Each structure stands twice: as C-alpha cells, then as structure tokens.
Amino acid sequence: CDWTRCRGCQGTACITCQQEQDVACCVDRECRGCSGESCGRCRADKLDTCCRGADGAVGACRGRDTTTTTPPPIIDLPRCDWTRCRGCQGTACITCQQEQDVACCLDRECRGCSGESCGRCRADKLDTCCRGADGAVGACRGRDTTTTTPPPIIDLPRCDWTRCR
C-alpha cells in the first residue's frame, strides 16, 4: 500500500491511517477480480482476515478479532513488520515505516538469491526500492526518490489514502 497520503500525521493517528489503508488493500487484494454481488460477499468474508493485527481504532475492524499481529501472507511474499515503529510520533513514524518498506522491498526483489549474488541484487534494486521514500531513510540517502508511488507488488491494486489527510 502507498502510505504517502498519511504523511504529516502524528503519533497513533499515523498508525491508524496506515492500518486503515492496509486493511482496504488487503480486502482489495483478497477479492481481486470479483464483480457484482459476489464482491460484497467476498469483502465481508475477508474483513476478519484482513483486520488481524489492526488496532481497534481502525473503523472497518471495530468489533472484530484483531489479536494476531501477523497479517495473512500475500502469495507467499515476505511481509513487512512495522511493529518496531509502534509508539513513534510524527515524521519519525514515517521514516521508521519507510525504512522497513525498503528492507522488505529488497527482500522481495532479491528473494532466493545466495552469496555474492545477494549483495549485487540488493545494490541493483536499491534505487527501485527507495522510490517514494523520504530523504531521511538511511539506505536511500543520495538516491533519486522523486516518485511517490512505489513499484507495485505483482500488479496488486493500489490503495487510496486520501481520507487520511
């Protein structure tokens, strides 16, 4: 999901904003390709799964079981774990989460590599993984991060974060 629309938020409002978009993206991903009435049923059926790990402040997840912190896997790709960023505030949250996003992107892009090829792959993919990241993200300093839309993960739908401003 693209969290750029949550920039400027502070504290727990950032986490809630991002989790709301994560839940929406998860439901979109889980119900990709549906149409008509089956979409409504699919979205309702998948909401419990997509709310796992979300904070109780996430509107779509209120009253649902959110006890696990590990969301369901996406086509067996590595998941980013932003739990170490909980409790951060303001731009420190955005930087922390973007650092995790860059690390996950590198893991995803170089999945299955070994030895020297991993180092080369990670160096080659750093520009791609830094797209849209803030200049405060250590691994991305001095790189072109002008685009605000990270590369899609296996052509999954992008989330709309406009309601988080």
Spatial contact of 65 and 48, defined as CB atoms under 8 Å apart: yes
Residue in the structure block whose two tokens are 């119900």: 31
Q: How far is CA 31 from the centre of its chain?
A: 18
Residues forming a β-bridge with 17: none
CA 8, 14, 18, 23 dihedral sign is: negative
The Cα-based distances of 75 to 11, 72, 143, 154, 156 in angstroms read 31, 9, 30, 9, 11
Instruction: Collect contacts of 113-120 with beta carbons under 8 A, ≥24 apart.
Output: none
For the residues 97-115, what does the mean pLDDT come to? 84
| Rounded Cα gap, residues 41 and 98, in angstroms | 33
Q: What percent of the chain has pLDDT over 90?
A: 2
* Whether the predicted model's global pTM rises above the 0.85 cut: no
User: Each residue of 17-75: pLDDT tens digit?
Assistant: 888 888 888 888 888 888 888 888 998 888 888 888 777 788 888 887 666 544 444 33
Cβ–Cβ contacts within 10 Å for residue 63, how many? Answer: 7
Q: How far is CA 43 from the centre of its chain?
A: 19
Among 25-39, 41-55, 84-98, 108-122, the range scoring the smallest mean pLDDT is 84-98
**Both structure tokens of 153:** 């993960």
